[in-house]
Every structure is written in C-alpha cells, then in structure tokens.
C-alpha cells in the first residue's frame, strides 16, 4: 500500500516531482501574485513566464477576449527580457520557491534560443528548459519554428548542444500532425515534450465589424481545448518515447487523471489559474479523493493506461 | 486579495441599462477606486466591477449591461451567491489630494467617485462633483452625491469639460476620450482606467499599459494612475 503523498509522485525523466501539477508559463508570472495566497512549494514544479532575449511589451490592447468554455489571449510574450529575468525575477523567486523550475524561453532566431537557453542553463534554480516553439501571438518567431519538423529539429538540436540541463520542447496544436513534429524533436535529442500551446482562434466585434483582439487572432485556452489537448498528448505518446507534460484546459483532478492516462507524465495548469487563483492547490488537494473514487492507488500506475490497447 | 462568496441583498436597475448590486459581507476594501472580480456561472472569465460604496457589512457595486455576462448578472436575485476576488487594484491616493479636489465622472465611470467622495468627506476634505451622462435616462446617483451635502454639476450630452472649471486637481473616471479632455483642463490629478482583463490580479499581462515609467498592469498597478505617469 502506497500511502500519503507518495501516491502523487511522478517524474520527468530523472527529475522527481512530488505531484504532477505545474502552473503553465504565462499564467503564473513568477509566482509573485500567488505566493501570498498559498505556499507555492506544494506544487510539483513551476513554469515561469516566457523569456526572450530582449524586453518585450507585447501586443496592443485589447489582448483578451472570452468565448464559451475559455478565453483568447494575444499578450505576445510580454516579458522584461533575459537580463532582467535573471538578475531581478529569479532572485526574488528563489526566496519563496524551492521546487523544480521550468525556464520557458522563446526566440526570433535560433541564435536567440541558444543565448536564452545557455543563460538559463547556468542558473542553479532552473531545472528544465522549456523551449517554446509554439506561441501563436508573435510574428516571425515562436510558432514559425514549431510548424515544420525540420525547423523544430534544428532548434532542438541547437539548444541541446548549448546546454546541459534537460530540454523540453513546447509544441503547437496548430499543425497537421503534431506527432511528426514530436518525432523530429525526439530524433534531434529532446529530453521531453510539453503540449499543447494555445489553439489559434479569433472573435469579431459585430458592432464595429473588426476582430475583437487588436492582434486579429489569439490563442484559445481553457476547458474548451481540453479534449484537443488530450487527443494530441495521446497521439504523441503513441508515436514517441519521451516524457510528456500534458497542457491544455486542465482545471480539475479528473482532468489530470485523464491526461496521465493519455500518456502524460505531468501536467501544466494554465487558464484555470486566471479565473481561480487557487486552482493548482485545489487540484492537488482533490487528487487523492478522485483517485480513491476511481480505485487508483498511485498516479504511476495510470500513466499511459489508455494507450495500452493501441500499443 | 482573497476569494470569497457573497450573498446578494439587492440587484436592481437604477437607470437605463445600469444596475446597483448590493452584497452582504466584508470585501476588505481599503481605498476608493478598488474593484472586485465576479465569477458568473456559465462564463469563463470573471467580470471586473468597480466598488461604489462599502462598509464592513456590505458592498455596493454598479454595473452596466454591456453583454451576455452582465445580462446574466442582472438576472441574479437576492439570496443568490456570487464568488468574488477582492479587494483588487490600487485605488485613489487621498494623501495627494488638496482640500477641494474636483471629482469628474462619466457614465459608468461615476461609481468609484461616490466612494471617493464619502472617504474624502470622512477626512474633512470637500470635493466638488461634476457628472456627465449621455441622456437623462442614464442619470443615477446624482441625488446620492447631493445627499452628501456636495455641490454637484451635471452635464447631459456633449462633453463634461464644457462646464468644467480649468486648473483644478481632479479625480476622474470615465471613457478614455473624456479622461483626455479632463486631463487637458486640469492642473493635475488621478485617473482611473478601464481595460479588458484576463485575471484581474496581475498574473496574465492581459491589461498591460505603457507608461512613462514602463509597463504597468491596469488591474494590479492601477486602475488609478497619477496623471504624470500616463502617456496621454
């Protein structure tokens, strides 16, 4: 009988997590807005706001729109830039967060990815490099690297050669075959995958007859995309043999269980944090109860459970 | 900030498309101009609404019907419960205001100025009030401001600045075009901004604003900003 907190343990390769719940990049900042609400060290890990080489203000307003079951954002990778993140944000974060940390990085060229990855690799508090090749809200970067297997492989290979820490590639659902991109990343040496980023979408203001978001389009997140994310994780897990962080619309303990049965080793919780700042804590608290109800002793035993019949 | 459930005491129309919502409970408001973020059943994002008045027992919010979310809110009844994130944002800084600030509100920007007027009076300061409406069907709270013993001027249609004295220290809330016009005539002041928000508590960077001192979040660093900080 596995008791207490051991039931929730999981791992990303050699990295042990107390539980599979990780706040997703871009929905948790550097944890500062959440740290007074609950002890962030109950989390399995944390992925902080995406970092680019240069500071970015992001896209014009409005950047947020609502839709049934979710939201659209076109923030556009707003962040203070690599130097400020390393010298100002990370030292602050070190004061209140002591669990594994995913440094999410983006670039507009392979050189920028390398520079960010190398700098983050040297930060003792960073555990995993999460390489974002899937942001739909910036032009000429992010997603441009994530829609072509050869480009995805090139970024993966370049970053892997530059760093010593595990490299996870964050994939976009806005492609014909996500498993093909995933396979290319595996071939190029990725240590793991994180999927999915947001789903491209838009709303139109019918009065003004223009897109509601100033950027025109945005990324859809929230419960509306959970089935999409689940299918992409399932499809990817069938194809590649790498640790997977499942992301997309997760907002309950049951979603976590489904995602792990689809082949995820851990999960990131995104939009749910924005409407319920206690979402991650609630999910972690609810997991044992939900597992009891489903006759699950440990999360380890359900990883990829739904894949068995196909594999 | 905390998450808390409130019971609706009253939810009634007070003008065309404008509702006054009274909730039972202590929202922890510490300054006029702060807001709350309301979770509505069936809608993903919360709705940010400024606080018009508060005590340790009650919270008064005024909102305008602008879409499906506020329509659903308008159908909720006394006894129903609402989940709020509260208190949010930085309100007006009274310590920077003179003895007689001019409060200038336009339409649904008026509510936070009511709480501000009461707080100023509590500190022995005496604001003048200037309220702008599109038409008489939208009038609300004129009587409540006058009942505080204040001089209230009302501008209906056109621009509120047509009857605004120049060179005063202002505290203002309303449409962006109005704020610009008010600022152009004022000596100095504090301005409450509106934005489409994701979270309401500073995490998502959805409502970022470029200012003279860099990027600021309307929800967390505002919604009230000093005139000199804003890029007009």
Task: Quickly state the pLDDT bin for A2 (edges 50, 70, 90).
Answer: low
Nearest CA in chain B to A79: B205
Chain B residues with CB under 8 Å of A34 CB are 203
Residue B49: strand pairing partners = B36
Task: Quickly state the pLDDT bin for B56 (edges 50, 70, 90).
Answer: very high
- Give the tokens for residue A158: 């370049």
- Give the tokens for residue B186: 């004022």
- A204 CB contacts (<8 Å, ≥6 apart)? A210, A211, A212
User: What element of type H or E holds A283?
Assistant: helix A279-294
Work out the mean pLDDT of chain A and round it to a whole number. 95
pLDDT value, residue A311: 47
Sign, CA dihedral B4-B5-B10-B16, equals positive
Chain A, chain B: beta-carbon pairs less than 8 Å apart = 90
B19 and B67 share one domain: yes
Residue A135 annotated among the catalytic residues of the structure: yes
CATH for B144: 3.40.50.80
pLDDT value, residue A135: 78
CA distance A36 to A50: 22
Q: Which CATH superfamily is domain A4-307 in?
A: Aldolase class I (3.20.20.70)
Does A73 contact B at CB distance below 8 Å? yes
Instruction: Residue A267: name the closest of A278, A282, A251 by CA.
Output: A251
- Residue matched to tokens 């791992």: A11
Phi, psi of A207 (to 5 degrees): -75, -50
B121 and B225 share one domain: yes
In order of A157, B199, B202, B213, the CA distances from B221 in angstroms are 41, 13, 8, 12
Q: Tell me, rounded to whole angstroms, the distance of Cα A285 from its chain centroid.
A: 21
Q: What DSSP string runs through B112-181?
A: HHHHHHHHHHHTT---EEEEEESSGGG--SHHHHHHTT--EEEEESS-GGGGPPTT-EEEEES-HHHHHH
B58 and B167 share one domain: no
B23 and B121 share one domain: no
- Give the tokens for residue B149: 């013993």
C-alpha dihedral over A184, A190, A192, A196, to 10 degrees?
-50
- A51 CB contacts (<8 Å, ≥6 apart)? A79, A81, A82, A85, A103, A104, A105, A106, A116, A120
B64 and B144 share one domain: no
Instruction: Residue A220: name the closest of A283, A260, A172, A148 by CA.
Output: A172
Average the pLDDT over B69-88 and give the result: 97
B49 and B150 share one domain: no
B39 and B84 share one domain: yes
Q: Report the residue of A23, A25, A26, A29 to disrupt the B interface, i.e. the one with the largest count of B CBs within 10 Å.
A: A29
How many Cβ atoms are within 10 Å of A164's Cβ, its own excluded?
A: 10
Average the pLDDT over A281-302 and give the result: 97
CA distance A94 to B79: 45
B77 and B113 share one domain: no
Going across the sheet that includes A128-132, the strands are A21-23, A266-269, A244-247, A192-195, A167-171, A128-132, A101-105, A46-51
Judged against a pLDDT cut of 80, whether residue A127 lies above it is answered with yes
> Domain coordinates of chain A in residue numbers?
4-307
Judged against a pLDDT cut of 70, whether residue A310 lies above it is answered with no
Question: Exposed (0-12), middle (13-18) or buried (19+): which is B79, by Cβ within 10 Å?
Answer: exposed
A237-289 pLDDT tens trace? 999 999 999 999 999 999 999 999 999 999 999 999 999 999 999 999 999 99
Does A93 contact B at CB distance below 8 Å? no
pLDDT value, residue A138: 73
Which of A49, A62, A66 is closest, CB to CB, to B44?
A66
ipTM comes to 0.94
Average the pLDDT over A103-125 and give the result: 96
Average the pLDDT over A65-77 and give the result: 96
Residues of B with CB under 8 A from a CB of A: 1-3, 39, 43-46, 69, 85, 195-199, 201-210, 215, 220
Domain end (from B54, B88, B122)? B88
Q: Could you say which of A116, A135, A185, A280 is catalytic? A: A135
In order of A275, B97, B166, B171, the CA distances from B94 in angstroms are 31, 5, 21, 10
A76-108 pLDDT tens trace? 999 999 999 999 999 999 999 999 999 999 999
Contacts 24+ apart (CB under 8 A), A136-139: A136/A172, A136/A174, A136/A197, A136/A198, A136/A200, A136/A217, A136/A218, A136/A219, A137/A59, A137/A73, A137/A74, A137/A75, A137/A76, A137/A77, A137/A215, A137/A217, A137/A218, A137/A219, A138/A76, A138/A77, A138/A106, A138/A108
Whether residue A297 contacts residue A291, with contact meaning beta carbons closer than 8 Å, is answered with: yes
Cβ within 8 Å, pair A29-B195: no
Cβ within 8 Å, pair B2-A37: yes
CA distance B55 to B69: 26
Question: Is the whole-model pTM more than 0.80?
Answer: yes
Cβ within 8 Å, pair A222-B209: no
pLDDT value, residue A42: 98
Which of B2, B206, B210 is closest, CB to CB, to A73?
B206
B46 and B147 share one domain: no
How many Cβ atoms are within 10 Å of A282's Cβ, its own excluded?
A: 17
Cβ within 8 Å, pair A275-B44: yes
Cβ within 8 Å, pair A67-B208: no
B128-155 pLDDT tens trace? 999 999 999 999 999 999 999 999 999 9
Q: Report the residue of A104, A277, A279, A281 to disrupt the B interface, i.e. the one with the largest count of B CBs within 10 Å.
A: A277
How many Cβ atoms are within 10 Å of B187's Cβ, its own excluded?
A: 12
Does A16 contact B at CB distance below 8 Å? no
A161-186 pLDDT tens trace? 999 999 999 999 999 999 999 999 99
Domain count, chain B: 2
A194-208 pLDDT tens trace? 999 999 999 999 999
Phi, psi of A211 (to 5 degrees): -55, 140
Instruction: Residue A169: name the closest of A177, B212, A183 by CA.
Output: A183
B69 and B168 share one domain: no
- Which residues constitute the domain of residue B16? 2-88
Strands (E), chain A: 10-12, 15-17, 21-23, 46-51, 64-67, 70-73, 101-105, 128-132, 167-171, 192-195, 199-201, 204-205, 210-211, 218-221, 244-247, 266-269
Domain end (from B88, B111, B129)? B88
B158-187 pLDDT tens trace? 999 999 999 999 999 999 999 999 999 999
CA distance B37 to B41: 13
Average the pLDDT over B19-45 and give the result: 97
Instruction: Residue A10: name the closest of A1, A2, A19 by CA.
Output: A19
Chain A residues with CB under 8 Å of B2 CB are 37
Does A71 contact B at CB distance below 8 Å? yes
- Give the tokens for residue B88: 């949010």
Distance from CA of B84 to the nearest CA of A (A): 10
B27 and B142 share one domain: no
Distance from CA of A89 to the nearest CA of B (A): 14
In order of B109, B144, B146, the CA distances from B140 in angstroms are 11, 8, 12
- Residue matched to tokens 């008064």: B60
B83 and B124 share one domain: no
């Amino acid at each position: 009988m596995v008791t207490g907190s051991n039931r929730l343990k999981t791992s990303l390769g050699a990295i042990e997590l107390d539980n599979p719940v990780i706040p997703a990049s871009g929905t948790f900042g550097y944890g500062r807005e959440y740290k007074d609400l609950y002890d962030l060290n109950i989390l399995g890990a944390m992925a902080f706001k995406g970092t680019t080489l240069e500071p970015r203000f992001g896209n014009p307003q409005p950047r947020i729109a609502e839709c049934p079951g979710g939201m659209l954002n076109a923030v556009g990778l707003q962040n203070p830039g690599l130097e400020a993140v390393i010298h100002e944000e990370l030292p602050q974060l070190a004061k209140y967060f002591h669990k594994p940390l995913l440094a999410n990085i983006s670039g507009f060229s392979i050189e920028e990815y390398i520079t960010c990855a190398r700098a983050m690799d040297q930060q003792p508090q960073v555990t995993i490099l999460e390489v974002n090749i899937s942001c739909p809200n910036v032009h000429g970067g992010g997603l441009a690297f994530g829609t072509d297997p050869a480009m995805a492989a090139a970024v993966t290979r370049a970053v892997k050669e530059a760093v010593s820490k595990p490299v996870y590639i964050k994939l976009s659902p806005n492609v014909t075959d996500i498993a093909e991109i995933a396979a290319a990343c595996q071939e190029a040496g990725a240590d793991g995958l994180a999927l999915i980023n947001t789903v491209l979408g838009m709303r139109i203001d019918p009065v003004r007859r223009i897109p509601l978001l100033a950027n025109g389009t945005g990324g859809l997140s929230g419960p509306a995309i959970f089935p999409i994310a689940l299918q992409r994780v399932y499809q990817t897990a069938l194809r590649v043999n790498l640790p997977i962080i499942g992301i997309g619309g997760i907002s309950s303990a049951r979603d976590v269980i489904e995602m792990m049965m689809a082949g995820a080793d851990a999960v990131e919780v995104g939009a749910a944090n924005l409407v319920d700042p206690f979402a991650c804590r609630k999910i972690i608290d609810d997991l044992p109860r939900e597992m009891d109800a489903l006759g699950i002793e440990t999360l380890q035993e359900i990883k990829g459970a739904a894949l068995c019949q196909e594999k | 900030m905390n998450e808390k459930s409130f019971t609706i005491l009253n939810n009634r129309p007070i003008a065309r498309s404008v509702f006054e919502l009274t909730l039972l409970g202590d929202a922890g408001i510490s300054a006029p101009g702060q807001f709350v973020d309301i979770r509505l059943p069936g809608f993903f994002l919360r709705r940010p609404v400024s606080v018009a008045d508060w005590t340790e027992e009650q919270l008064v919010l005024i909102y305008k019907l602008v879409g499906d979310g506020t329509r659903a809110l308008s159908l909720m009844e006394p006894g129903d419960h609402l989940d709020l994130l509260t208190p949010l944002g930085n309100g007006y800084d009274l310590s920077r205001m003179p003895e007689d600030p001019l409060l200038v509100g336009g339409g649904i920007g008026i509510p936070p100025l009511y709480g501000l007027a009461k707080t100023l009076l509590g500190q022995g300061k005496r604001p003048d009030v200037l309220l702008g409406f599109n038409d008489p069907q939208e009038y609300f709270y004129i009587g409540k401001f006058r009942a505080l013993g204040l001089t209230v001027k009302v501008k209906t249609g056109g621009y509120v600045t047509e009857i605004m004295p120049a060179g005063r220290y202002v505290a203002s809330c309303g449409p962006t075009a109005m704020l610009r016009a008010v600022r152009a005539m004022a000596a100095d002041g504090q301005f409450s901004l509106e934005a489409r928000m994701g979270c309401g508590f500073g995490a998502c960077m959805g409502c970022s604003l470029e200012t003279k001192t860099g990027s600021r979040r309307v929800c967390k660093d505002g919604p009230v900003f000093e005139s000199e900080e804003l890029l007009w």
